[in-house]
Amino acid sequence: MIEEKDERRDVSFDEDQLIRWLIDENIDEFRKDFLSMHAYDQAKFYVKVGPDIRKIMYHFLSPEEMAEIYEAIELDDEEIEYFIKEMDPNYAAKMLSYMYTDDVVDVLTELDEDDRDSFLELMDEEMAEEITELMGYEKYTAGSLMTTEYVSIQENSTVRSAMNVLRREAPNAETIYYVFVVDENHRLTGVISLRDLIVAEEDTLIRDIMNERVVYAKVTDDQEKIAQIFKDYNFLAFPVVDEDLVLQGIITVDDIIDVMDEEASDDYSKLAGISDIDDIDAGPFKAAKQRLPWLVMLLFLGMITASLMGQFEATLEKVALLALFIPLISGTSGNSGTQALAVVVRGIATGEIDEKSKLKMIFREMGTGLITGIACGLIVVLVVFLWKHSLMIGMLVGTAICCSIFVATIAGSFIPLLIHKIGIDPAVASGPFITTLNDITSILIYLGLATMLLGQL
């Protein structure tokens, strides 16, 4: 039995066979195997084939079937616009009308205003109004993420009537695992799970069994805050209300997973010192355009390091051996600062670091920096003494590394906390900036100590 199932699955994923059926216009065989595939695999096939094959697919698949593909599709901005425009406008409008409103908003947001308006004119008037309203919310907020396809019931209704509402509304709802309870003014008053509805007596009033302690978001709340709530409470769906607590929509876990992925990529790109994560399909000019501003900025910061070294030119001329250890000291301190930065930025992003724990985090990093600095310093003293047979040089380099690691660790933890305090994304305190700052401080410490001890070297 298992072997037969695996064999059918292998046939359904035969992309070459699917393409041959499309070219031969064998609609029955194509539909039988293609529609048996998971929507994600259908989406991968759709994205992979060329425009000529996709145009045949539009004739073989209904707008409703294509909508399921677009619900699972993962495209960047340019691809969405390109794919939508290769469809017949009426076909595309019908497809969009079968999608959940939040997904339609994601698609239409990537189109220019004229194309967006033309699609809205072709869609159902009521749905077009909902989409237009959702598109009016500021980007990256709860309002821009929510969908209006949800099930709500009145608090004074019975379980029997609630189940009738659920049966009627479920086919169009994005999720039914949570049913949100409202009063006569549509203000959110509670939530009840599908399980509780099923096991309750039919004549029971909803207000008697609903959970009144509802966690909700305002339409203006930032998407990072919403993602953290989903993570903390393990929700599948989440209500969104306005200032008067009137229920406006819900956010589902699949949308939050996309947000988490987006935020992680955004923070990683900032830590790497680039404006956005490079698309592997992007050309070299586009990639260079994204990276160049940061590199130029860091280049000028690097000039400060070079000018500082110039101030200690006399010291380096007298003891040329000192220059040998500059990369070692600056590199080690930079790595230490980046480690502290990564820990703090992650803690802020996940909510592990709050106002009460900030001071504790700084003291912990200070202790960590001191311990690691002393350990690395002692190792360097031993290595330099055995290598260059100079205890004084070894002690100088070891002391400089110890102090540089200590200062770099404090900087790597304090700077992102300070930036977060003034309301700026702490990820902008990116690795390259911390590294450049630590280069400056480590050179000041190292060559400053060397100048003070020049007579003994």
Strands 188-193 and 217-218, sheet pairing: unpaired
Instruction: Using alpha carbons, list the distances in angstroms from residue 93 to 112, 144, 206, 252, 279.
Output: 15, 21, 39, 24, 29
- Residue 121 shares a structural domain with residue 169: no
Tokens read off for 441: 């401080």
Domain that holds residue 298: 284-456
- Residue 95 shares a structural domain with residue 167: no
Residue 244: which of 219, 214, 215, 210 has the closest Cα?
219
DSSP 8-state secondary structure symbol assigned to residue 238: E
Q: What pTM was estimated for this model as a whole?
A: 0.60
- Residue 223 shares a structural domain with residue 288: no
Task: Show pLDDT as tens, one digit a residue, over the chain (457 residues).
Answer: 334 344 434 434 588 899 999 999 899 999 999 999 988 899 989 988 989 999 999 999 999 999 999 888 876 656 778 888 899 999 999 999 898 888 888 888 888 888 888 888 888 888 888 888 888 888 888 998 898 889 999 999 999 999 999 999 888 888 888 899 999 999 999 999 999 999 999 999 999 999 999 999 999 998 888 888 888 888 888 899 999 999 999 998 888 887 776 666 665 555 555 555 445 555 676 666 666 666 676 677 667 767 766 777 677 666 677 788 888 888 888 888 888 888 887 777 666 777 778 888 888 889 999 999 999 999 999 998 898 888 888 899 999 999 999 998 998 888 888 877 777 666 655 566 777 777 888 888 888 888 888 767 5
Tokens read off for 437: 């700052």
- Residue 232 shares a structural domain with residue 328: no
Q: How far apart are CA 190 and CA 182, in angstroms?
A: 7
- Residue 393 shares a structural domain with residue 358: yes
| Strands of the 237-241 sheet, one edge to the other | 217-218, 237-241, 247-252
Place of tokens 């250890």: 325
- Residue 130 shares a structural domain with residue 260: no
Q: Is residue 79 part of a domain?
A: yes
Q: Is residue 147 part of a domain?
A: no
- The H or E element containing residue 130 is helix 125-135
- Residue 190 shares a structural domain with residue 230: yes
Q: Is residue 278 part of a domain?
A: no
Q: Is residue 301 part of a domain?
A: yes
Q: Is residue 142 part of a domain?
A: no
- Residue 423 shares a structural domain with residue 293: yes
Tokens read off for 1: 């039995």
pLDDT number for residue 4? 39
Q: With both helix axes pointing from N to C terminus, report the angle between 125-135 and 113-122 in degrees, rounded to the nearest 10.
A: 150
Q: How far apart are CA 447 and CA 334, in angstroms?
A: 17
Q: Is residue 433 part of a domain?
A: yes
Q: How far apart are CA 176 and CA 193, in angstroms?
A: 8
Q: Is residue 145 part of a domain?
A: no
Q: Report the phi/psi class of residue 31: left, alpha or beta, with left for phi > 0 and alpha for psi in -120 to 50.
A: alpha
Question: What is the domain-level CATH number for residue 7?
Answer: 1.25.60.10
Residue 333 identity (one-letter amino acid): S
